[in-house]
Structure formats: C-alpha cells, structure tokens
Chain A
Amino acid sequence: MSTIDQIDVKVVAIEQVAPMIKAFTLEPLKGELTPFSAGAHVVVEMDGSEQRYRNAYSLMSDPNDNRQYQIAVRLQETSRGGSIYMHDQVALGDELKISPPANLFAPAWRAKKHILFAGGVGITPFLSYLPLFKQREVEFELHYLFRSHQTGAYSAELAAEFGDQCCCYDADQGKRCDIAEVMSGQPLGTHFYICGPESLIEAVRATAEEMGIPASAIHWEEFAGAKPGLPFKVELSRQGIELDVAADSSLLEALEGAEVDIPNLCRAGVCGQCVCNVTEGEVEHRDSYLSDTEKQSGQVIMPCVSRAAGGRLVLDI
C-alpha cells in the first residue's frame, strides 16, 4: 500500500460499547472522507513502540456520512497486539493513518431477502448494511450472537430499532441460536451473511450444505487477520536482502518494515492482492484465497497471513 493513499484522521470519540469492545470515531484532518459502500473496511496503521501494526476494521457508520467513520475494536488478548494498542494506547485527539475504504463484503443486492448472522464484534459490517436496508425497504433478519460479559455492542439499540427483525442470543444468559431453524423454510432468493468467528462461519456453511442451499448464496467475512507463529528468515532474491520475521509479526508486516511495498486490501488472506512468488522453502498456507493446487505447488504465498513452514523462505522479490 503506498502511503500517498492513506488518509490522516483524528480520534474524536472513544466509547466502551461492550466490556471488551471500544468504538472509535474518526474525522479527517482535512477535507472530507469519501462515502463508502456497505460492508467496506479500512486498514488502520498503528505505530507501536516496537513495531507497526496494520489491522483491517469494518466501517460501521452510515455509508453516506462523509464527515466521520466509525470502527469498533474487540480486545484480543492473545493476538499480536494491534487491538491491545487500540485499547490501551489510543486516546482522544490522537492522529492515526487509515487506508481508503475497500470492500470485500458488500450485500448481494439482487437478493430477495437478507439474513445476517453476527457473532460478537462481527456486528460491525452489518451496522453499515442496516441504514441501506431500511432506505431500500429490503427484507432482512439480523441474528446477533454474543456474550454480554464480553461483547454484544448495540444489542439493545438494535432490538429497539428493528423489533422482530433483530434476534439477540446472549450465550451468557444461556440463549442459543438454532441456525438450522433460522435457515429452513426461507424463500427463493434469500442470501445469508456471516461475520464472526470461524466456528460460526463453519456452522452456517455446513447447515447450508446439508440443506442444499446454493453455496453462492452464502457470504462471509472472518475477522481473523494474521495469527502469530514461529519466527523465520526470508530472503528477497532480487533485492539481495534477508529479513527476520518475528513470531508475532506477519511476513507482510516484515516486508513493509523493510520498505518493500506489497499491494494488499484485506490483510486476512481473502482478497488475493498480496500474492508473492516463492522460489525456495516450504510454506505454511493460512489463507483462503489460493486453490489447493496452488497451495500444493509451493510456488506462491499470501504474506498477509501465511508463514514459512521451516526456518527460511526465499521470495522472488
């Protein structure tokens, strides 16, 4: 990502919207923000003391509002630190850099009905869907699964605003969502969307498969991002340099740290932008973009999430 594309923003509000979730309101330092499409995200750059993090967060404000953007960050204590930085270090009035919005999770507007499954902080992209659903008067249901001791932001407001169209399931109150029941008997042209942990995505996809619901009617976004792994070395054969990739840093971050610009959009192994050619070394593939054949070939890697399987990789860069 070239830095020219980045937008300088200022944090104008921080709100604790659930025990583990903070919402940040961002305003541009100058000019206006662009309107975005429902489901879009931005990559927020954070300059930590030891390393620079770049995490993707869904925009949850009204897509037509170009005065400010809102994101929500769930504290992930076991992750590599980006969310801890946002929770502990970022204060009111701080300046951050964000990428322009990109969208890998837009509603399928041809659908006759939309069914949304949100898990915890996975509610965020759907918050940008809802104003448009309302405006276009499309049929939808929101199924919101959370644990009120940790997540569940905006559940009361959503329930109040959308009534029967919004079902809340608080696992801390013992309320469970019967996914099969939600999905059965839905009319032709229904599309399903999932944003949440992998287990929720898998559960919905498996139910759809079981019921014979077409795979192209199921849309999901994981809020995974890079997970830590073992440290390794990477050699850039064309540039003739060698870099260290630390355990809690992604390969993409290591490359960016060395001023090697790699195009990227999702930083979660989904969009395919960051693909690099591998000339030596084994890859531990963690993306959901490459086909199995491509993965087996061992010739390509998605550096935003994937790592070396051994101690060393050589990339054709």
Chain B
Amino acid sequence: MQTEQLNGVASKPAYGPVELNPKSSFHLFVAEQLLPKAMECLYDACQPNEGRKEKAVVEDASDPELRNLLATFPLNGTLYLAGTEPFLWRVASHARALGLCPEQIRLMAPVTRERHLFCCHCHTITEGVTYSPYACSGCGAMLEVTDHFSRLHGAYFSFQANAEDSADMPEQREVN
C-alpha cells in the first residue's frame, strides 16, 4: 500500500549525541525555551582556550536577535541548537543561508516528539501533532502522517488518509 511505502521513506532525521567542536573560536548555544539540562551540561563542559562561548534563548526561529548573533559568526564557529524539531530545522536553515556548513550546526534531540505537518493539499502547516491521521488545521482533511521530513519547512509530509475510499479511515496510531 502507498502509505506503507511512504512511511518507509527514511528522511526522518536521526539525532546522535552532540559533541563540542574543540577547534571552534566561537560556540553559540541556542535554545527555544529554557536551556535543557543536556545543553547546560554541554555549555559548562565547553572551555574554549582562546575562543568565546555564548548562550541565548530565542523563542522564534526568525528572531532578529538571533540573526544578529549569527551575522558576526566566524568561519570556524559552531552553533548548538535545542528545542522542538521545527525550531531546530528552521534555525538551521537560516544559518545555512548565512553560510554555515552542515557540520557547524549541531542539533540536540528534539525536546518533544510533536510534529509539524505539511498538508500537501492546502500547504498549511499544522502544529503539535502526535498521532495519525490528524485533522489539517487548514482544510480539515484527515491527514496520514508520514516520516518524510522536509528540512526546509521543518515539517512532515502528509496527505488525505482516506483519499481512495472515504469509508476507509485508518485506525488512529501514535507517531514518534
């Protein structure tokens, strides 16, 4: 079945343990809410010989303050991010646009397993999703949640669950 195939797509990000980059001259720790414990530990463990370190809480991924911090980012800096998955990837994509390389952006495992869903019918992003199917906040369609993740949108691809047979609504299941 189509659904199973789509759910087999392996674009769901995997998050390994985050390590400090000892060669960096600037370490920037950014969290969406209070710095999670794991990030505090990392921050404390960071003892740059010559470099600097800084931490910031930024609720909005497009926050101008964050942009300012990144604007003066050195070529050998490292950015550490903590927060929800959409936040991580939105900040990461801003950082990429400013010129950071992928290995300069280190993501800690998301603090919740809530997903953002991208509806392929109306293009609305629905937030806080933990089970499938889930009603689209834009068009109301019951959406099948896939593991196909867009790093650009920070959201999972989803489509009408009972598109072929309106009577055939899949059973609700949790997504992790």
Interchain CB contact under 8 A, B25 and A111: no
Say whether B103 faces chain A, with CB atoms less than 8 Å apart. yes
Q: Please encode chain B, from 74 to 85, with 1 for each CB lying within 8 Å of some chain A CB and 0 for all others.
A: 111100000000
Which chain A residue lies CB-closest to B51? A212
Interchain CB contact under 8 A, A189 and B25: no
Interchain CB contact under 8 A, A187 and B75: yes
Complex: A259 Cα to B73 Cα, angstroms: 55
Chain B residue numbers with a CB within 8 Å of A190 are 75, 99
Interface range on chain A (Cβ under 8 Å from partner): 10 to 19
Residues of chain B in range 84-119 having any CB-CB distance to chain A below 8 Å: 96, 98-104
Say whether B21 faces chain A, with CB atoms less than 8 Å apart. yes
A215 touching B103 in the complex, CB below 8 Å, given contacts A188-B74, A188-B75, A188-B98: yes
Say whether A180 faces chain B, with CB atoms less than 8 Å apart. no
Complex: A210 Cα to B50 Cα, angstroms: 14
> How many chain-B residues does the 8 Å CB contact rule pick out?
17
Interchain CB contact under 8 A, B101 and A214: yes
Chain B residue numbers with a CB within 8 Å of A173 are none
Interchain CB contact under 8 A, A214 and B99: no
Residues of chain A in range 153-207 having any CB-CB distance to chain B below 8 Å: 186-190
A111 touching B99 in the complex, CB below 8 Å, given contacts A190-B75, A214-B104: yes
Say whether A213 faces chain B, with CB atoms less than 8 Å apart. yes
Chain A residue numbers with a CB within 8 Å of B101 are 214, 216-217
| Smallest CB separation, B113 vs chain A (Å) | 29
Which chain A residue lies CB-closest to B102? A216
Which chain B residue lies CB-closest to A216? B101
Say whether A112 faces chain B, with CB atoms less than 8 Å apart. yes
Complex: A188 Cα to B98 Cα, angstroms: 8
Interchain CB contact under 8 A, A212 and B24: yes
